[in-house]
Structures are given as C-alpha cells and as structure tokens.
Structure 1
Amino acid sequence: MNDDKVKSLKVRRSSRLTGFYQESPDRRRARLVESRWLAPEDAKACEGLAGFDESCADVMVENVIGLHGLPLAVALNFVVNGEDRLVPMAVEEPSIVAAASYAARLCSEGGGFTVVADPPITTAQVQLLDVPSLTTAVRELRARAPELLAEANALMPGMCARGGGARELEVRLLDSSTLVVHLHVDTCDAMGANLVNSLAEDLAPRLAELSGGRAGLRILTNLADRRKVKVRARVPSGALSSERFRDGGAVRDAILEAQRFAELDVYRAVTHNKGVMNGVDAVLVACGNDWRAVEAGAHAYAAREGTYRPLTSWWKGPEGELCGELELPLATSTVGGAARTHPGVQRALKLAGVTGAVDLAGLAAAAGLATNLSALKALSTDGIQKGHMSLHARRVAAEAGASGELVEIIAERLSRERVYRPERARELLAAEVARRKGGWR
C-alpha cells in the first residue's frame, strides 16, 4: 500500500461541518470531497439524477410515465457507536434535516448514539384453518420443527451459504380451530420479503398435512419484533441551554414533561411517534428501503401492550443529564430491490458508509431518536413553529420566483413579518428587484 493510501486511512472524518447549511449545493459537495466523505466522481453524480433514467425506473414499478424527485440531503454531527457518520435523508418537509443535525450535535456532547441491534430475522406466517385438534397439531408441529427447518434451509441454499437460514419454528394459537406457524429466518443483508413469502408457500402443504387442517394465508409479517433496534443517547443538561433559555436543567425538565404527556395521552403519543418516524423514514427513503413496512411495524410495536405508547423514553440521569432511548422493529436491506437498481440509492449507502442491513437500521434509528429530541426541545421552549416556519419561508420565497441570494433575503423578511403568504413574498420580491434596478443597494 502506498503512503498516500496509508495517510487517507488514518484521517478521521468529522461529521461536524460548520456552516454547511449556509452554502450552495455545489460548495457542499465540494466540502464533502475535501473532507473525504465523497469521491469526486460521486459528488459529480449527485448533481442530478445521474444513472437514474426512465429505463431504470421502468423496471422498478409499473406504468412509468416519468421521474419524480425528492431532495437528497445529509444530516450532520452524528456519532454512532463512537464513529462519525453522515446520514443521508430524502424528504420534502422543511426542518427535518436541520432538526436531526441539531439534536445529533447535542447528543455528541454526551458521546453520541449507542446502538444495539438484533440479528436480521424476517418472519413468515402460515395460517392453518379448520384444525381438528389444536393440542395434537401443536405437539406434532413442534416435534417436527427440526426437520421442517431443514426442509426450509434446503429451499434456500444461497441464503444459507451467506450465513443466513431458518432459525426457529414457532406455533401460535389464534382461536378454537386456527393456528399460525411462524418461520423465523435470518436474511442477512436482505429484508427477505420475497424469500420468506416463497418459503411460506412451499412449506404450507406440509404444515397443513401435519396439523390436519388447511392452509390459509402464507406471507411475511411486517411486525419484525425479532429484528429490533435499540439506540440510546445522553445530553449534559448544560448543552440544552440557549440564549433565551439559559437554565439547561429547566429545559431538560420541560422535555421530560413533554415525554410524560405522550405516555399519558394517545393523541399526543401518535404525534410524538410521527416525530420519530420523520428521521427514520427520511433515511429509509434515501437508502431505497420499504419505509411503509417499517412504519406499520413501528406503530404496531407502540401498541403491543394494548395501549398506544411513545416509542422513545426520556429520563433524568444520575448526573442530571437528559437520557433517551428508542426501541422499535426495523427491517432494512442493503442488497436487492432499489439498492440493486437505483444508482442514487447506491450513492446514499456509500456516502453513509453503510456496512450492512443491521448497520443501516442502527443509523435510521439514531436519526429517529434525534428528530424526536429536537421536536421535544422545540415544543418545550420556543414552540415547534419558530424553526419550522423560518425554513418554510425559504420555500415560499422560491415559489414566488426568488432565486440565489434573493431566497434568503425574502425569507428573512417574511419571517420578520411572520407572514408567509405567497402574494406577500411576490410583493417583497418585486420591491427588492425594483430597488436593485434603481442602482441603490
């Protein structure tokens, strides 16, 4: 290995890129190259939809008539299991990327995010109906579990060769004549939907024969509770202070009051969890994953005890710090699907330095805890609208026809007036253009 390569390996990349939000997209890409997050050719490809054209889209979904884009951004300041990371996000809502970056900086004051993840288990379900004797069927199925697992593994030699395969067979009683068999499969870096669906269909006749019933539905479950991710973070109370709210301990206590509100009230809990999924979904969309499946599983998990509850917990630590935890099922993939066909997804995974499905799940969960913290802090202090509307003002200014530096000028005036109507933005823009044509600045 030559000296240049050795030096590049020793460089510690920082996710803290000061002033990044104030720069142009061109300059941001240049900074990512300078700080060795992106190779020059990848930065160039980020300028548009390089490699993603109608022919590529046409093999992804049906009835394609064109392309539809979302902004691709990076959240900064993330330290995950001791490593600086950039977090790719594809999202249309203003403030989510800024919120994640801000909260990640707060968490970095306490060491960043610590992630622990389960193995990538995807579960197939086979419904067995009209079972004549539940007791006999359950006993027979459980006794035959080793041979059924062997049959399943024989159907997926490729997955087994990669270290995956069927791990457990579970039998559950649903009513007086219905069973469901769960086949838990380690799918490595794949989400595994197609694989486990095929396994369920192939094994269903054998399961029906052993139970004496008939096979009903044969499909995976998106409640991936064998595939959970847990992420924790701590924020020193002093890091929570600001110019307007100088007492960080008081801010911490206000955040804890907001957490308690979500624990007591389902209406608040739903919005609380939406704030979590703001971060999770944005990462999954950027990385070409099935965010709808994760959403369904996350909300089901939130209601697993019979009452819908917040996915996060926040509490006061032994040194007065704010401590938080997020746990949710999170099935992700870094092979197959969009990761195989969409060049933008491939670039996002590369930018994030994703090493596999479990790593991606941890990164998405860290983003979810960050956006939740940012929302709770905003709600507990300035209110959620202050930061959100300042970013919304930029969108309104652009819609009115502003470009370049005029976007920031018009947005700042809209925010100062606290008026965000497009017609007012057009008035301000016309006045600014006229002033500049008049030659006085």
Structure 2
Amino acid sequence: MSKPVKGFSKLSKEEKITWLSEHYFNDKEKGIDVLKKYWNSDERLQQLHDEFIENTISNYYLPLGVAPNFMINGKIYTIPMAIEESSVVAAASRAAKFWMDRGGFHTKVIATEKIGQVHFIYRGDKGKLSQFFTKIKPHLFASLEDLTVNMRKRGGGITGIELVDKTDAMPDYFQLHCSFETLDAMGANFINSCLERLADVLQQEADQHTDFNDDEKDIQVVMSILSNYVPDCRVKAEVRCPVAALNEDKELTPASFANKFVQAVNIAQVEPFRAVTHNKGIMNGIDAVVLATGNDFRAVEAGIHAYAARDGQYRSLSKAEIIDDEFVFSIEIPLALGTVGGLTKLHPLVKLSLEILDDPTAKDLMQIVAVAGLAQNFAAVRSLITTGIQKGHMKMHLMNILNQMDASKEEKTYFTQYFQDKVVTHRDVISAVENYRKAQN
C-alpha cells in the first residue's frame, strides 16, 4: 500500500523510479526495465526531455506518421501526425488523395485575434467605474509599452481593452476584456504578462482615483489569464466538386452518396449525442497535427468544443450541402496556434514536423490543421454511410490485436493476408490465431 511521500521532487530520477517500484510495480525489475528502455541513449537529448516537465521518469512515445498528397490552395503538403489511434493517418491520406483529384482543399484565415481577461470585483457605482475606465484607458495601454515593444515591431501587440459589466451573471463582477495579435507565437506567456501588468495598474489607479470612496478604491482582482476560447481567431477549410464527380463508391450513385452524406452531417447538427462523436473524429485529425507541431492540443480542444456549443446546443463543426449540383463540404473553427516559441525550437521532432510543412507561419498552420480535421471528417462520414466504420478501422486494428497475442513476423504476414477479404473482429482474430497455432503444433 502506498504512503504519502515528502520531498519527492527533490529526489533524483533514479530515486523516484526506485520509490515507484517499491510501492506500485507488481514486478519491480520489469517495471524499472520498461521505464529505462524508453530513455534516449543520447544523454543530452534525454536531459532535454527530462526538463520539459517535473518529476520525469521516462519518455512516453506516440507514433509520428505522415499523410501525403494534401493539396491546399494549389500547394502539395505532406502532413505530420502524432497519434496512437489506428486508421487515422490512413483515412486522412485516402481523403487527401480523393480530393487532390477534385481540386484539393481551399482555405482562408478569417481572423487572428486572441483574448485575455482581468477578472475583478468592484462594489460601487457603475457610472463612476465607467468614467474611471475611460480616464485610465490610455494609461493602461501605455503601461504595456515595454512588454509589447518587440511584438509591436513585428506588427502585433495589444489591440483593445474594454470594460465589461458581468454583474447580471455574478454580483459585483467586472472584466477588462483584452484583445491581442501575437503573429506566429501562440502568445500565452506574452498575454498573461500583459494582463498581470494591467491588473496592477488598475488597482494602483483606483487607489489614487479621487472620485472613488474608500470601498470603491478597493478593486479586488480575482485573476488575470488568457482565454482559450478564441472565436475571433478562426479559419475556414472547404472542398467542393460536381456531385457527378463523387463516383468512387460502388454501392451508391454519386447523387445518393451526396444526399446521404449531407443527411449524416445534418444529423450531427441537430443531435448532440451524434455531434460529439462526429466532432471527435474531426479532432482526430486536428489534435494529431497540433501535437506533432508542438502546440497545445488541450487548449485547441477546449476552444473548439466551446465554439461548437456557441448557440447553446452542441453541434457539428462541419457543414455539408448541395448547391446547384455541386457538393460542398466545409469547416470553420477557432484555432490559436504558434510556430515560434514553446517546443517549436526545443523538441527535435517538432522542428522536423515544421520542416516537413515547409516552415509555416501561424496562419499557414491554422489552415493546414483545419484541412486535417476536414479530411478526417470526410473519411469518417464516408465510411459510415457506405461500408460502415468498423471495416476499415478494424483492418488497421488487426496489427494491434496480433501484437497483443505476441504474433511472430510469419503470423502477422499470414493473418494480414487471411483477413484481407474478411470483417475483422477481436474475437475472430483470437480464434483464428489460436486455431492456426494448434494446427502448426
């Protein structure tokens, strides 16, 4: 049974692993061996990984694959994807090839504004607060000049500060709602530094404001933090072709395919239970590229899902329609991404992933990531309305099942061929392998 531990962070990596083995591992030696097998043999590279987070004990690997043949605005991309789920990279690749033959993907960045807020409590006359804010607003901007000087040289910086009254939602609650342009940086540290400075200046100015009584001078800043909800940092991706060009399915006519596809997406627009899984498939593509390029996929997830529920009901992120005998499939999502700072200059595989993408700007990366999500969604919905999702997915999952059964190289070759024209289920694979091994003996 485990016991609380004091001073764990001060232990060496070896000591941390020893403590874990003594309290948690069923097989101490095997557990330690597994952790150390995933250490990098290059000591400098391993130290780099150790210093990314606290209490590091090993490296947790995810496969890094690539999906080629993406034509985006006339340019061909090979997109890196870091993900553990089988069939995602293959599905994206198939969708890329399908649409490359039909004009490719078309994208545009709609806006790049990011948001941060100073949340504070004010117990006083609202009119006085409004007049106070109008008076100090120039001082608020001026107070940030040293923090924003480099960003402003590149064309970014803080672009707006507004006072927001939220007392209808919570008593005495107000905000400084701030907008930022951070260019190729995700900008979290930049934004948070600016917000904390604004909070200090707000309180200092309030303390000196002669029109406030003592209670009104006591502005209580609760917190100062960026928002990962960025509805005005959006990108759109789209594919379109004549309905007659949707002619690769053997069971459905192009018109039937297009109509059924539109119906499937419309169901995700009105049915939240379906919309969540529909959007999860989109995030398969988005998260994989975000992770491969060293961006914050948790922030991206939170912002995108909030956007999916912006009208009060959770809905599909994608849209499908038929306009004048043309099939149109699109997605519009908020994406706050960066190609400088963070892991982009530290993690060797992140640097290579960005090289594979031809060293994109943040705007370029927004468009690439949106395309990955749209491609993944097209592949998933296409499977659902034709062969069903399990046929392709379980084909890819076959190797995972074989690895779970410690299949030999010869067995993997045999069963890959054996299940070529069969539906793959976990039970059927286990049964087939067991029967094969009995026959061999």
TM range (shorter): 0.7 to 0.9
Aligned CA-pair RMSD: 2.4
Equivalent of 1:129, from 97, 121, 127?
A: 121
Shift of 1:146: 4.0
What's 2:182 paired with? 187
Shift of 1:125: 0.7
What's 2:68 paired with? 76
TM-superposition CA deviations, 1:359-403 (whole Å, max 9, x none):
111101100011111111111111111110111112212333335
Aligned residue for 1:244, secondary structure, equals coil
| CA separation of 1:139 and 1:302: change in aligned 2, threshold 3 A | farther
CA contact (8 A) 1:354 1:360 kept: no
- The answer to whether the aligner puts 1:284 opposite 2:290 as a matched pair is yes
Equivalent of 1:93, from 73, 85, 102?
A: 85
Equivalent of 1:332, from 337, 342, 354?
A: 337
Task: Kindly provide the amino acid, as one letter, of the partner of residue 181 in structure 1.
Answer: L
Shift of 1:55: 0.4
Quote the Cα distance in structure 2 between the aligned partners of 1:295 and 1:64: 25
TM-score by length of 1: 0.81
| CA separation of 1:215 and 1:56: change in aligned 2, threshold 3 A | same
CA contact (8 A) 1:100 1:279 kept: yes
What's 1:4 paired with? none
Quote the Cα distance in structure 1 between the aligned partners of 2:44 and 2:259: 48
Aligned length: 386
Task: Kindly provide the amino acid, as one letter, of the partner of residue 245 in structure 1.
Answer: E
What's 2:32 paired with? none
- The answer to whether the aligner puts 1:418 opposite 2:402 as a matched pair is no
What's 1:249 paired with? 255
- The answer to whether the aligner puts 1:140 opposite 2:132 as a matched pair is yes
Equivalent of 1:271, from 273, 277, 288?
A: 277
Deviates more, 1:406-415 or 1:180-189: 406-415
| CA separation of 1:52 and 1:400: change in aligned 2, threshold 3 A | farther
Aligned residue for 1:156, secondary structure, equals helix
* Structure exhibiting the larger radius of gyration computed from Cα positions: 2
Equivalent of 1:231, from 206, 218, 237?
A: 237
Task: Kindly provide the amino acid, as one letter, of the partner of residue 60 in structure 1.
Answer: F
TM-superposition CA deviations, 1:144-189 (whole Å, max 9, x none):
4344223223323222222221111122221152111122111111
| CA separation of 1:431 and 1:221: change in aligned 2, threshold 3 A | same
CA contact (8 A) 1:122 1:191 kept: no
Task: Kindly provide the amino acid, as one letter, of the partner of residue 186 in structure 2.
Answer: M
What's 1:301 paired with? 307
What's 2:437 paired with? 430
What's 2:327 paired with? 322
What's 2:368 paired with? 363
- The answer to whether the aligner puts 1:206 opposite 2:205 as a matched pair is no
Which structure 2 segments of 5+ residues have no match?
Answer: 1-39, 207-215
Quote the Cα distance in structure 2 between the aligned partners of 1:276 and 1:244: 25
Shift of 1:429: 5.9
Task: Kindly provide the amino acid, as one letter, of the partner of residue 234 in structure 1.
Answer: R
Quote the Cα distance in structure 1 between the aligned partners of 2:85 and 2:398: 12
Shift of 1:246: 4.4
Quote the Cα distance in structure 2 between the aligned partners of 1:242 and 1:230: 26
| CA separation of 1:375 and 1:243: change in aligned 2, threshold 3 A | closer
Shift of 1:59: 1.4
CA contact (8 A) 1:122 1:224 kept: yes
Aligned residue for 2:62, secondary structure, equals coil
Deviates more, 1:71-80 or 1:207-216: 207-216
Shift of 1:431: 6.5
TM-superposition CA deviations, 1:78-97 (whole Å, max 9, x none):
11111111111000101111
TM-score by length of 2: 0.81
Shift of 1:118: 4.1
| CA separation of 1:263 and 1:246: change in aligned 2, threshold 3 A | closer
Quote the Cα distance in structure 2 between the aligned partners of 1:413 and 1:92: 25
CA contact (8 A) 1:281 1:291 kept: yes
Quote the Cα distance in structure 2 between the aligned partners of 1:254 and 1:50: 53
Aligned residue for 1:333, secondary structure, equals coil
Shift of 1:226: 2.2
Extract structure 1 runs of 4+ deviating beyond 6 A: 48-52
